Amino acid sequence: MFTIAIKSIGFAWRTNRKLLIILILINIFSGAVVYLQFTSFASIVDEIIKIKQGTGKTGDLVRSSVLLGLSFLVPLFVGNLGGHYRMIFRMQQTLNLDLYKIDRQGKLDIGTIESSSYQNLLRSAQEWGTGSVLGLQDFFFNSSHNFASIITSITILWSLNYWLVVFAVLAAAPVYFFYNKYSMEVFRIRRFSINDQRLIRNRISHFEELQKAVDVILLKLQGWLKAQVKERKEDFNNKIIRAERKKAISYSIMSLWYLLFLFAAIALMTREALSGGIAVGGLLLAFSTYTRFYQTVNGYIESISVAEEASRYAARWFDLFDITPRIVSKENGVVIDIKQPPLIEFDRVSFRYPAEEGETPWVLRDLSFTIKPGEKIAIVGVNGSGKTTLIKLLCRIYDPTEGNILINGINLKDIKLDNWQSALGILFQDFPVYNLTIRESISVGRIEDNGVSQYDKDAQLRQAARYSGADDFIKDYDQLIWKDFAGGIDLSKGQHQRLAVARMFYRNAAVTILDEPTASIDAVTEERIFTTLEKNMEGKTVILISHRFSTVKNADKIILMEHGRITEMGSHKELIQLDKQYAALYNMQAKRYLEETEDA
Ligand SMILES: Nc1ncnc2c1ncn2[C@@H]1O[C@H](COP(=O)(O)OP(=O)(O)OP(=O)(O)O)[C@@H](O)[C@H]1O
């Protein structure tokens, strides 16, 4: 808890140290000032009795009354000011935490983001993270308030009768034990149910997300999904209810314990008053200070337990951002000329995905091949044969488990990561759909392009749209693709894909990688894209993954993959002459097209 609390206060300190100090001082003041109300009220009572007995002075009574008035008025103003500052501070903190999160996440590698351990942490952090970090900061402010309050009340109680301090401390002692025990249990239940919670959210999302909702209706999945939600949610609720019940019973026992010491304190003070040891005002002061002390200690211990709980959740938030990326750029890494397509060599590369526990199977086995600068390469193979994984290694999303990838003879691991990734333009199968204007969603392909004038950028952007066939449906480049907003529109899947291809053309990278870029695109546009690719990517390296053999046959080199191995490699002509798997697959597809054409 201590380290996590320090981390969260570190945030507060970095955000606005002046405000942090002001808030601590306000809390100390408001924690102590309440006793001024008690003491001035007690002295008013004593002054009235003295005046009645003929020994008091009106001046003293007025002074105590003014003091009482001020002891209410000043905290009111200070409290309002504190509330206002606290609101500002919280807003600044929330923004700062969000920015920190963005910063850290932006530095992570894709391999880490893909891992289920990261996804689990992310889920916990999203659920409790920011709130718990802010909760720990609140605890810090409350601590200053409570410390001031406890010290003042102990001083008053001690000055009246030190036994009052002993009783008050003994009465409050078990609170910590019970609070800690049961809040820990509730935390444990929540923590271990995180996977169930993910599953519940996933099942509920089937009713909320359009694509899934369509399946739910057509396949009549409602009952089946509902049962899963109900079963898991009820199980979770029952566990929480059981823990809360135990908590409630132990708190009732604790209240009896408190009453025992309260009676002892009342008996003690009444005896003192009767024997003349303290005046009536003193009796009042003792009683109000004693009860206030217990409430403060009780509240503080409760807040320690709550803070401990918050620190457990916040720890997961910090864990998330303390993750070190698996793929790191080498310090003083080599910088290559990203404008020129490089020589790429795979040298006996094997790969298995990093395992959360145990070992995952080999996905790539002993791959050796070369891509010459400017070559057009096609990779084909059945689902799961390792095509996308090969690309992930080339992009250095993962490093090979065995073997090396060489770029212009330099090990990819020795090249500056940013520099290498700037040389690449990649379009994966599950490309993102940006909720931007059409112009923006093409230009994000080359966002850092500062030297180019807006006019040239615009010309290049329109050319990219033409190459990809996106210009067919673009009427207004400033059209927002976000139908949740007024005036926004949505596109068809194929149109989205054309826009993504336009982004790649616009990026104009030395090495362009297209992982099934035309899966949702009609045959005419597909033909146009590939003709453009051949014509306009002259001199650039293009790596194309496709299931359609008709689109790959013009490639300089075709790689056929099977179970993570390269089984055939060569030009279309060479592989047809070889008359093995590629030829068989090609002929099979060609025959189907022919039959379809004849049918038509
Ligand atoms: N992130 C991952 N973690 C663990 N295993 C993975 C991961 N991604 C893919 N795999 C496994 O690696 C193997 C190869 O997957 P890959 O996506 O490279 O195949 P592919 O040839 O591109 O398939 P497709 O044609 O369906 O796109 C598959 O068995 C898959 O289950």
Reduced to 3 states (helix: H, G, I; strand: E, B; else coil), residue 347 is strand
- State CA 226 to chain mean position distance: 28
Supply the pLDDT for residue 596: 64
pLDDT above 70 (res 342): yes
In 515-543, which positions are buried (b, 16+ CB within 10 angstroms) versus exposed (e)? Answer: bbbbebbeeebbebbbebbeeebeebbbb
* Distance of CA 515 from the midpoint of ligand 1 (Å): 13
Q: Which residues contact 506 (CB under 8 A, 6 or more apart)?
A: 442, 443, 445, 446, 460, 461, 464
User: ∠215-218-219 over CA atoms, to 5°?
Assistant: 75
Q: What is the mean pLDDT of residues 593-600?
A: 65
Q: Shortest CA distance to 173 belongs to which of 243, 254, 265, 264? A: 254
What is the C-alpha to C-alpha distance for residues 211 and 209, in angstroms, rounded to an integer?
A: 6
What token pair was written down for 28?
């100390």
> What one-character DSSP code corresponds to residue 409?
T
Q: Which residues contact 378 (CB under 8 A, 6 or more apart)?
A: 543, 544, 545, 546, 551, 552, 555, 557, 558, 559
- What is the average pLDDT value for the chain, to the nearest integer? 86
Give 407's pLDDT tier (boundaries 50, 70, 90).
very high
Say how many C-beta atoms besides its own lie within 10 A of residue 351's C-beta.
23
First to last CA, the chain: 72
CA dihedral 274, 276, 281, 283 (to 10 degrees): -50
Give 107's pLDDT tier (boundaries 50, 70, 90).
confident
* Distance of CA 549 from the midpoint of ligand 1 (Å): 20
pLDDT above 70 (res 219): yes
Residue 384 CB–ligand 1 contact under 6 Å: yes
What's the farthest any 2 CA atoms get from each other in the chain? 125
Supply the pLDDT for residue 600: 60
Q: Which residues contact 535 (CB under 8 A, 6 or more apart)?
A: none
Q: For ligand 1, pick from 114, 363, 393 the residue to mutate: most ligand atoms within 8 Å of CB.
A: 363
Supply the pLDDT for residue 18: 93
Q: Which residues contact 240 (CB under 8 A, 6 or more apart)?
A: 186, 189, 190
Supply the pLDDT for residue 311: 85
Residue 564 CB–ligand 1 contact under 6 Å: no
Structural domains in the chain, sorted by start: 2-322 (1.20.1560.10), 431-508 (no CATH)
CA-to-CA separations, 266 to 29, 168, 269, 290, in angstroms, rounded: 29, 12, 5, 10
Residue carrying structure tokens 């566990």: 239
Supply the pLDDT for residue 561: 94
Residue 342 CB–ligand 1 contact under 6 Å: no
Supply the pLDDT for residue 465: 92
Residue 111 CB–ligand 1 contact under 6 Å: no
pLDDT above 90 (res 420): yes
The string of DSSP letters for 77-133 reads: HHHHHHHHHHHHHHHHHHHHHHHHHHHHHHTS-HHHHHSHHHHHHHHHIIIIIHHHH
CA-to-CA separations, 51 to 61, 62, 87, 280, 284, in angstroms, rounded: 9, 12, 47, 14, 18
Residue carrying structure tokens 């009952």: 223
pLDDT above 70 (res 597): no
What is the C-alpha to C-alpha distance for residues 1 and 303, in angstroms, rounded to an integer?
A: 13
Query: What are the two backbone dihedrals, phi and then psi, of residue 201, each rounded to the nearest 5 degrees?
Result: -60, -40
Amino acid sitting at position 231: E
Q: Shortest CA distance to 445 belongs to which of 373, 528, 489, 507? A: 507
The string of DSSP letters for 177-241 reads: HHHHHHHHHHHHHHHHTHHHHHHHHHHHHHHHSHHHHHHHHHTT-HHHHHHHHHHHHHHHHHHHH
Supply the pLDDT for residue 542: 92
Q: Hey, which residues does 347 pair with through a beta bridge?
A: 404
Percent of the chain with pLDDT over 90: 31
CA-to-CA separations, 62 to 41, 47, 56, 58, in angstroms, rounded: 12, 9, 11, 6
Of ligand 1's listed atoms, the one at least distance from the Cα of 389 is 18
Of ligand 1's listed atoms, the one at least distance from the Cα of 516 is 27
**Within the chain, how many helices (H) and strands (E) appear?**
19, 10
Supply the pLDDT for residue 599: 66
What is the C-alpha to C-alpha distance for residues 348 and 366, in angstroms, rounded to an integer?
A: 4
Residue 385 CB–ligand 1 contact under 6 Å: yes
pLDDT above 90 (res 218): no
